[in-house]
Structure formats: structure tokens, C-alpha cells
Amino acid sequence: MRLGGFVIHGNCRGSLGRCLDSLAAVSDTCVAVDTGSTDGSAALSPGRGFDRLVRRWEGYGAARAAAVRALKGCDYVFFLDSDEWLEPDAVAALLAWKASAPSAPHYSLVRRDWARLGGRRFLYRTERHVRLVRADAAAWQRDMIVHEALPSGETVRLQVALEHDFADTVEAMRTKVERYALLWAIRYHRDPRSVKPPALQRLAHLLREALLKGALFRGGFPALRLAAAVAHHHARKYELLREVRRGDHAELVQAFDEDRLCDLFRLLGPQGPPWRPQPMVPAGLALTPRPSRPGLAPAPVSARQQD
């Protein structure tokens, strides 16, 4: 079984190295999709044996679909965000999974979201995310402009954890989720789904994050503030959906409907992809060949920094 790994990145030099090491440790071939980095991030992937795919930012769906096309010939694809990584025990578990002749279309991993707030680092929450996808089920579409789940299918739960630097400041989280909420509303403005009451969404998700998922007990008041920012996202999705359906944000909606996704993100402002500010890459894309990799031995994985 041949496993292809990929990451989409912008200006994230501080976190990208351990992400690349994690992908290289378990994958037979790897692609780094560079959406316009200017901080030296681009230099990190070729030296680790990655192909470097350079393209304009058109959202997550288009970038992931491009990565899958570049991993032609792989049986499964595995992907991480640029602020995610694997610990050595997770690397070992995924190598064992590869050797087990997997066949399901989707495999989910546990993601451990870490926050660094109020002068301390704590586990904010754990969630399951599909990160291993059989190649014929890796059906990302261009209209998936925000983080989106793949179409439903058989999913096997693996007892494997990936680590995620989730939040450094509450203010940055609120800015990011506001952007995500607007993109979600634009994507679903023609969908027949009903608008859920925003106030109830805010309360329900605050209780879910802070109490049911235990963030308040692990992180105290800073975690409660972060939970409020996450809950704000779920309320704002429906507030913005109402706005879009009554004709607000018309220029953004038109760009989306006409599949002018580069224009959509340009009109949203200079922030670029939600993880880091960065400029657009000129039209077109380029693939930088990776150097030959000696064998398929796993690359070393950086241990998570401890407080």
C-alpha cells in the first residue's frame, strides 16, 4: 500500500517543520502546497523530500484537490494542517496501520487541540477528524472554500492522536472564526437549510465546549473565553447566512457563484488564507520536483515542546 501525504501552507515557518517531519515519517511520497509563503517556509519542504506545489489561494477544497492530483499513484492520502504534528507513538501506530492492508474509504484520528493562554498551555479539547482517505474517496470540490468534511462514507476510528496548536490568543480566534463564518454562509446561501436561532447556537456551543468537552476544567477562565469565541462562530454562521440571503455581501457571493475564487479571497481583504497573512501568488501553478529520497525510512519527528 502506497501512502501519499500533503500539507497546505502559507507563512508558518515556526510550525511547518515538525508537520513536514510527521508527514515524511509515515508517507511514501509527499506534497507541500505553498499558497504564497514569504517567510522562508518554502525552503523547508524540498530538503525533506517533498514536491512543492505553488498555487494561488482559492480555498481548502481546491488546494486539497490539487494535492491529491499531485499524489497520483497513491492508494491512500494522509493530510495535516501546518500547525499539526505527530508524536512518535502516533507515527508507530500509523506505520502499523499501513502494514495492516487497510480497505475502508475513511479513517479518523483523534485530534488534541492545545491552547496557550493566560501564561499556560493546556489541552482545550479532543475531537475526531478524518485524515486518512482512500484515493478514490478523496473527492474534495472547489466549492469547499472552508474546512469541510468529505462526503459521508464508511469511517473506521483509529486510536491514534495528532497534536494541534489550536489557539494562542482569544482575539485571533475570534478574527479567524468571523472569516470562516462568512465563507460558510457564502457557500451555503443557496442551500435549503433553515437558519438556526443564533442565540441558542451560541449558548449550546458554549456549554458544549466549556463543560461537556471539559475545557473550563482544564484551562479555567481563559478556556471559557476561548469557548465563547468558538461558540461565537456557530452563532455568526447563521447571522451571516441571513445577511447573505437578504442580499448583503453581494460582490463576494457573485464571485463564489461564478467560480472566481481568487477574486473572492482578494475581496475578503489582505489576510489571505485564515492561518496567516500573506499575498497572492501570480496566476498559474508550478511543481518543484523533490530530490530523491533514500529508501522509505521514517524521518525523525520533533517531540512536542513541554512547558
Instruction: Express each pLDDT in 174-220 by its tens digit.
Output: 999 999 999 999 999 999 989 999 999 999 999 999 999 999 999 99
The CATH topology of domain 3-167+283-288 is Spore Coat Polysaccharide Biosynthesis Protein SpsA; Chain A (3.90.550)
**Closest by CA position to 94, among listed 17, 5, 164:** 5
Query: Is the torsion defined by CA of 16, 18, 21, 26 positive or negative?
Result: negative
210 — phi, psi (to 5°)? -75, -40
Quick one: how far is CA 263 from the chain centroid? 21
3-state secondary structure of 292: coil
Please list, in sequence order, all residues whose beta carbon lies within 8 angstroms of the beta carbon of residue 75, skipping any fewer than 6 positions away: 1, 2, 3, 134, 135
- pTM, 2 dp: 0.85
Average pLDDT estimate for 159-165: 97
pLDDT for 152 beyond 90: no
Q: Are strands 155-167 and 84-85 parallel, antiparallel or unpaired?
A: antiparallel
Question: Cβ atoms within 10 A of the Cβ of 69, count?
Answer: 11
62 — phi, psi (to 5°)? -65, -40
pLDDT given at position 196? 96
**Closest by CA position to 61, among listed 33, 86, 40:** 33
3-state helix, strand, coil split of the chain in percent (to 5) is 40, 20, 35
pLDDT for 236 beyond 50: yes
Instruction: Please state the domain extents for the chain.
Output: 3-167+283-288, 170-268
pLDDT for 276 beyond 70: no
